[in-house]
Amino acid sequence: MGTSSSYPRSVNVTVHLDAISHNYLALRNKANSKAFAVVKADAYGHGADAVASYLSSVADGFAVVTVGEAVAVRDVGVSQPILVMQGPQDASDLDAIFEYGLWPALHDEAQIELTLAHRNALDIEPWLKVDTGMGRLGVSLASAATHLQQNLLRWRGVMSHLASADLIDRSLTQTQSTRLAELIANNDIETSLANSAGVLAWPVAKRDWARVGIGMYGCHPVAGHSDAADLLKPAMSVQAPIVSVKPIKAGATIGYAETYSCTADTLVAFVAMGYADGLPRVLDESADVLLQGVRCPIIGRVSMDSIAIDCRPLKENRQRAPRLGDLATLWGPGQPVDRLAESAGTISYELLVGVHGRRSYTD
């Protein structure tokens, strides 16, 4: 008897590695600095092994969250620096950091003490993570100044994370940049502040290293910013097949709870993708898919295994009627993932890391 993995579900996830490389290089050029390619969370759902391996000939470095993620990236043959953005959780993590030559970010006083107590403390090159306004991970500015002055560790660099770089009408990014600049004013040390949004919209946030994540995967981190639309290419396509096509009479309802009633006779296609595959269960009426290059609305509630599609726009655009096996594009070229994310009241990150399917790669 075959295992369940021998019979995968119907969703096809295609990752365009050439687009990821293009986006990385475009963002690095825009930053005018070195750049970490962020491959945390399985490269935002794109496959960390494949993405890191593909970028190993061009990237200055890589960034992940955990030591385990870093070791996995190193094991595919990556020789560049790997930044571990949450740093070590225990002494065994520090053993691996030393063994694999990783750069840990130390963001907590207990972490710094743990590192100081390690037998290889002086052979580890950590980054000091400072909270300049994010209100999340990072030591205080005062504490950071003390650690840099004492210099008990071989600090490789100082980093902070931007809280509102995607909002160009906020002043916090300027404030955070100023605070970091004041902190390192008397220290000859590398710094990292800009994420993808910072690279695109905030020249003041540019430092020695950028950290490019969501932008590298083709998503626009700053709403309405023309640079993103011009620079970035979609890096993932998600498609699923039509499994049923049926005419529905005017007045009939579609799906659970009778939330959608057909206002006219409607040809409806049912697509084999649902919330079990990572599609959000709650979508507003703007949600749609691409069929034959035409946007067709998703109607009724998302089921565990399927969605219903109003196919009337196909006829309006002089396209043939849908057939079993035709592929509907949930997101990909011509159908931005940000579009569906907005319909779901969420962000593209959540859709990218949550989708399940048969993953393949193009280059």
Q: Which 8-state DSSP code applies to residue 57?
A: T
Residue whose tokens read 């620096």: 81
User: 312-336 burial, b if ≥16 CB within 10 A, otherwise e?
Assistant: bbbeeeeeeebeeebbbbbbbeebb
What does the block give as tokens for 202?
A: 């905030």
User: 81-100 burial, b if ≥16 CB within 10 A, otherwise e?
Assistant: bbbbbbbbeeeebbebbbee
In contact, 198 and 206? CB cutoff 8 Å = yes
Q: How many CB atoms lie within 10 A of CB 210?
A: 28
What does the block give as tokens for 203?
A: 């020249």
Q: Which of 142, 153, 157 is nearest to 187 (CA)?
A: 157
Q: Which 8-state DSSP code applies to residue 276?
A: G
Rounded (10°) angle between helices 48-55 and 67-74: 50
Residue type, 95: D
Kindly write down the DSSP assignment for every residue of 213-247, as one continuous string.
Answer: -GGGGT--SSTT-HHHHHH----EEEEEEEEEEEE
Catalytic residues: 40, 256
Kindly write down the DSSP assignment for every residue of 102-152, as one continuous string.
Answer: -EEEE-SHHHHHHHHTSTTGGG--PEEEB-SSSSSSSB-HHHHHHHHHH--
For CA atoms 180, 181, 186, 189, the dihedral sign is: positive
Q: How many CB atoms lie within 10 A of CB 310?
A: 21
Q: Which residues contact 297 (CB under 8 A, 6 or more apart)?
A: 285, 287, 288, 309, 310, 313
